[in-house]
Amino acid sequence: MAGTVLLIEDEPNIVEALTFLLEREGWRVVSHSNGQDAATVAAQVMPDVIILDVMLPNKSGIEILTEIRANSTTRQRPVLMLTAKGQARDRAAAKDAGVSVFMTKPFSNQAIIDTVKTLSQ
């Protein structure tokens, strides 16, 4: 097994597609759709890579990323952020919060796989 990916995303069809893609590449995928306790889940799962959507119910991806970086157990975990907005403001906020890689939807399947591989190394 390549490792564990925590997928924090609220669009079920995106979760299904990404889960299939990553599992096909040998990753174990844990998905979570609620922003409220996402950082807590990250600390429990301790994934090799976190894929995090910017817009989530109850808490934004930026807030979750800030919490992940503030927690000593998850501080070093690589985080790939996804957004459908691609606005400069989102990018700047994500960078300030400590994002590893920022990708804009729609993304190519290969780009996601390559990025997760790179981040896990």
Partner 1 sequence: MVRTLVGTRIRERRRALKRTQTSLAQAVGISPSYLNLIEHNRRGIAGRTLIALAAELNVDPSELAEGADGVLVNHLINLAKSHESTPETTRTEEFIGRYPGWARLLASLGHTAQAQRESLAAMTDRLNHDPFLSETMHQILSNITVIRSTAGILDTTPDISEDHRARFLKNIRSESQRLSATAQSMVDFFDAPQSTDTPSPSNLHQEDVFWDKHGYFLPDLENGTTTVDTLLADHPAPTATTSNGLRNHLLRYQTVCQKLPLAPFQAALRKHPGAPLTLAHMFDVPLPDVLFRLAHLPASPDIPSYGLIEVDMSGAVNIRKELPEFALPQFSSACPLWPVYRAFGAPAQAIRAVLEMPTGVQVTSFTIATAQATDQYDMPAFLHASMAFTTDTRAAIDPKPQPVLVGLHCSVCPRKQCDLRRVDYILS
Contact code string over 86-105 relative to partner 1, x by CB under 8 A: -x-x---x-----------x
Give the range of 38-46, 68-76, 79-87, 94-102 binding partner 1 by CB under 8 A. Answer: 79-87
CA angle 92, 79, 31 (to 5 degrees): 125
Residue count of the chain: 121
CA 20 to chain CA centroid, nearest Å: 16
Q: How many CB atoms lie within 10 A of CB 24?
A: 10
In this chain, which of 55, 69, 100, 120 binds partner 1, going by CB under 8 A?
55
CB of 54 to partner 1, least distance (A): 9
